[in-house]
Amino acid sequence: MTNTIYAQLLEAKKQRQKQFAVLIDPDKVSKRTVTSLVENALMAKVDLFLVGGSLIVKDRLAELIGQIKSLCNIPIVLFPGSISQVNEQADALLFLSLISGRNPDLLIGQQVLAAPMLKQMDLEVISTGYMLIDGGKPTTASYISHSLPIPHDKPPIAACTAMAGELLGMKLIYLDTGSGARQSVSVEMVHTVRKSIDIPLIVGGGIRSPQTATQICEAGADIIVVGTAIEEDTERMFALSKAIHALNEHSI
Ligand code: 1GP
C-alpha cells in the first residue's frame, strides 16, 4: 500500500501537508492547451490532476491521459461522472458514491456496473463519499445527478453525511459545490465536517481566489480542487498553489 496514491494522501495528511489538485475536464482542453497546462502545473508544483466531468461529450479521455503521462509524473486521478470515464492508464480512480443525494443509481447502481471491470483492471480504486453542496445555482453535477444538494448553511447535515460515509468504510470525503459554482463550500461547513471525520477531506467547486483556498485549507481541507478558474486563466494556478503550499511551511 505504501506506493499507492491513497497512502500518499494519508501521509500528506499526517504531515499536515495541504495538496493542490487541478481538475481537467477532457471536453474543455485541446492537445495544445494541455501541453501548456502541464508545463505550468510543473512550475507551479501542482500535486495532482483530477480528470473527469459530470457530462463528457467528446471521446478523448485515453488520448488526454496519454498526453499528460508523456509530459510529466504528476499523478492522474480519475474523477468519473460515469462508467465510461474509466481508463487504466490513470494512477487511481475516485470510486464515487453520491452520499448527499438519494438517487440510488449514483449511490450504488453505477458502482455495481463498474465493479467487475474495475476488479480486472490494474487501477487503484479509492472509495469516496461524494457530497454535493448548494453553491448558489444549479450546476451540471446537480442537474445530471438528479439529486438535491445539501443546503449551503447546514454544516451539521454535511457533518452527519460525512460521518456516515466514514462509518461505511469510505476512504475519502469530497465536498463539492460543483464545477463553476457561484460559491465555494463555506469555511464553517469545512470546519464542522473536518471535526467529524478522520479520513482525508477534498474540497472543490467555485474556488477562485488564493484567499478562499487558504481559508478552506485552514478550516481543515486536505486537498483543494480547482477547475473553472484555471480553465479561464491558467496563470491562476501559480497564486493558488503558492497560497496552499505556503501553509505547509508552518506545519509541524
Ligand atoms: C468540480 O470541484 C470541482 O467538481 C472543481 O470546481 O470547476 O468550480 O473549480 P470548479
**CATH 3.20.20.390, applies to 16-247:** yes
CB distance 221 to ligand 1 below 6 Å: no
CB distance 175 to ligand 1 below 6 Å: no
Q: How far is the CA of 141 from the centre of ligand 1 (A)?
A: 10
Q: Name which residue leads in pLDDT, 140 or 10.
A: 10
CA distance 50 to 52: 7
Of all atoms in ligand 1, which is nearest to the CA of residue 176?
2
Q: How far is the CA of 5 from the centre of ligand 1 (A)?
A: 21
Q: Residue 40 — pLDDT band, cuts 50, 70, 90?
A: very high
Indicate the SS3 state at residue 169: coil
Residue 73, all three cell numbers: 509524473
Runs of H (alpha helix) within 76-168: 104, 110-120, 140-144, 155-167
For 76-87, write each residue's pLDDT tens digit. 999 998 888 899
CB distance 48 to ligand 1 below 6 Å: no
In this structure, what are the phi and psi dihedrals at residue 101, rounded to the nearest 5 degrees?
-105, 175
Alpha-carbon Rg for the chain, nearest whole angstrom, is 17
* φ/ψ bin of 247: left (φ > 0), alpha (ψ from -120 to 50), beta (otherwise): alpha
CB distance 186 to ligand 1 below 6 Å: no
Average pLDDT over residues 29-39: 94
Residue 183, all three cell numbers: 460559491
Q: Which of 139, 144, 212, 228 to mutate to test the pocket of ligand 1 (most atoms within 8 A of CB)?
A: 228
- Fill in the amino acid letter for 174: Y
Q: What is the average pLDDT value for the chain, to the nearest integer?
A: 95
Q: Where are the domains of the chain?
A: 16-247
